[in-house]
Structure 1
Amino acid sequence: MPAYFVAVREAVNDPEQMKIYGEKAEKSAAVHQPVPLALYGRLRHTDGGAVEGAVILEFPTFEAAEAWYDSPEYQEAVAHRFRGATYRTFIIQGVTGE
């Protein structure tokens, strides 16, 4: 069953840290191969406060998503995201069409 990593960016406070994060996160993706479903695309706010952008990455299983997030490659990247912006992130189990 698929799982999704969802990142909602509320504000960037250090663009240089975010640049480093992007480079390192891309390298971690090469190892774990998530499928990008949304990458800071067009956004319409419908409820709640405004956000700057969002990302949705698909993984084949919940465990695969956790393995990517917890991997040394991504943890090296995420330290820069913590310094560079305010995000809310989570991993959510998907459903199958069956």
Structure 2
Amino acid sequence: MPAYVVLFRESEVRDPEEMEKYRSKGSDPTKFGLKPLVVYGAMTPLEGAAPDGVIVLEFPDVAAAKAWYYSPEYQDAVQHRLKAADYRGVIVEGF
């Protein structure tokens, strides 16, 4: 069953240098079956205030999503994203 990592950027990027470090540390997306579906696309708010940005990544299953997020490669990179801006994130199962 597919799983989706949904990341909400809750603030503007306050440290572009940290965000660039994050981007430069990208890992091979095919390693975990990651498929980007949404990366900061245009938004139409429906309920409540819209976040500053949204990312939706598809994985084959929850185990693959967790393996990607908790991998040493991604944990090395994510610290820079979290210094650059405020984020919330979830893994949600599809059907």
How far does residue 50 in structure 1 lie from its aligned partner after superposition? Answer: 2.7
Report how far residue 52 of structure 1 moved. Answer: 1.3
Structure 1 residues 81 and 36 mapped into 2: Cα distance closer, same or farther (>3 Å)? same
Which structure 1 residue ranges, 4+ long, deviate > 4 Å from structure 2? none
Residue 6 of structure 2 is aligned to residue 17 of structure 1: no
Equivalent runs, 1:55-94 vs 2, <5 Å: 55-94=55-94
After superposition, residues 36-51 of structure 1 pair within 5 angstroms as 36-51=36-51
- With normalisation by structure 2, the TM-score equals 0.90
Deviations 1:5-31 (A, max 9, x none): 00011112111111111221x325353
Q: For residue 19 of structure 1, what is the amino acid of its counterpart?
A: E
Matches of 1:22 and 1:52, distance apart in 2? 18
Q: CA deviation at 1:88?
A: 0.7
User: Structure 2: any 5+ residue segments left out of the alignment?
Assistant: none
Q: Which structure shows the bigger proportion of residues in strand conformation?
A: 1
CA distance in 1, matches of 2:23, 2:33: 15
AA matched with 1:15: P
Q: 1:30 to 1:22 in 2, by over 3 A?
A: farther
Q: Against the structure 1 CA distance between its residues 13 and 28, is the aligned structure 2 distance closer, same or farther, given a 3 Å change threshold?
A: farther
Structure 1 unaligned segments of length 5 or more: list them.
none
After superposition, the Cα gap between the structure-2 partners of 1:30 and 1:14, relative to the gap in structure 1 and judged at 3 Å, is: farther
Supply the distance in 2 between the matched residues of 1:20 and 1:30 (Cα, whole angstroms). 21
Higher helix share: 1
